[in-house]
Structure formats: structure tokens, C-alpha cells
């Protein structure tokens, strides 16, 4: 799988929540967001 770097803009409050969860899970922002996007795509395909 080829990995591409992207840039995104999110609200500061959302970023604070993301960073808190990243710390709790011991992962990275990229990994967390990648997993969230994969889950959203799976859910969308089921409908």
C-alpha cells in the first residue's frame, strides 16, 4: 500500500479531543485518523 501525506483543517476543540485520545491509546494522530476514516468508509458501504 502506498502512503500519501495529506493536509487537513479541523476545529481546535476537535484537535484537543484527538490529542487526548491519542495519548490514552498510545498511538499517533495519523494512525487514529486513518482508523476512523477506514471505519467510516466500512459503515458507509454497509448501507
Identify the burial level of 14 via C-beta atoms within 10 angstroms of its C-beta, where 0-12 means exposed, 13-18 middle and 19 or more buried.
Answer: exposed
> What is the rounded (10 degree) CA torsion for 21, 1, 5, 18?
-10
pTM (predicted TM-score): 0.84
pLDDT by position in tens, the chain (length 47): 899 999 999 999 999 999 999 999 999 999 999 999 999 999 999 86
pLDDT of res. 46: 80
3-state secondary structure of 29: helix
Please say whether the beta carbons of 22 and 32 come within 8 A. Answer: yes
Could you tell me how many residues make up the chain?
A: 47
pLDDT of res. 42: 95
Amino acid at each position: 500500500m502506498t502512503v500519501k501525506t495529506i493536509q487537513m483543517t479541523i476545529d481546535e476543540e476537535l484537535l484537543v479531543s484527538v490529542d487526548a485520545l491519542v495519548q490514552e491509546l498510545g498511538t499517533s494522530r495519523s494512525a487514529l485518523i486513518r482508523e476512523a476514516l477506514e471505519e467510516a468508509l466500512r459503515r458507509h458501504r454497509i448501507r
